Amino acid sequence: MVERKIAKVWEQGASRSKCIILPKEFCEKLGIKGGSYVEITMEGDKIVIRPI
């Protein structure tokens, strides 16, 4: 099953890094809490986020 949510992307600070807020439901399912580290990989045109 594919779960989809809409999230806004914005630029942060002088480096103009891109930021996104992950939906609460996704974070709860992955066990991601404030201060957590995640692995981010590209698989074709998809971004995959895994807790580490």
pLDDT of residue 2: 86
Domain that holds residue 13: 9-51
Any domain includes 1 = no
Phi, psi (rounded to 5 degrees) for 49: -115, 125
Q: For 11-49, how does the pLDDT look when each residue is reduced to its tens digit (9 = 90+)?
A: 998 998 999 988 999 999 999 998 999 999 999 999 999
Inform me whether the pLDDT recorded for 1 exceeds 90: no
pLDDT of residue 38: 94
Any domain includes 39 = yes
Q: What is the pTM of this model?
A: 0.66
Residues with Cβ within 8 Å of 42's Cβ and at least 6 positions away in sequence, in order, are 48
| Domains: count for the chain | 1
Any domain includes 37 = yes
pLDDT of residue 10: 92
pLDDT of residue 9: 92
